[in-house]
Amino acid sequence: MNGKKDVLSYLDNLPLEEKEALESLRNQILEITPNFEERLSRGVPFFYYKGKRAVGFRSSKKHLSFFIMEGNVLNTLRNEFNAFKNGPTVIQFTPENPLPKKLISKLVRARISEIEKSVSKK
């Protein structure tokens, strides 16, 4: 297995509430950028754009995580999600209190823009 199949297998092994919450997040990400490449990175589902890790998600014992790797997107937009526990590359949420779709869209689009700028500088 590889890529999309690995991500789908990851989701299939989650408890139902977590699976549904992360499937919803995944579907929204793919609606924004259907040409993302999906694959696991150290067991965590990630979406790659132009060869760079853009965003990802994971289930943990007590929460779900939405990752934005590298760059400054989370630092720049932190005031928009400060109601959620967060860190340098992650925002934590639960199936009962998911991230707002508008926020996900804004974060994903900002990360794509950040990648575009970094690629165009090379």
Supply the range of the domain harboring residue 52. 4-120
85 Cβ contact partners less than 8 Å away, ≥ 6 residues apart: 63, 91, 92
The CATH number that applies at residue 31 is: 3.90.1150.200
Query: What's the domain count of the chain?
Result: 1
pLDDT grade for 70, boundaries at 50, 70 and 90: confident
Phi and psi at residue 89, to the nearest 5°: -130, 10
Per-residue pLDDT tens for 18-66? 999 999 999 999 999 888 999 999 899 999 999 999 999 999 999 999 9
Tell me the whole-structure pTM to 2 decimals: 0.92
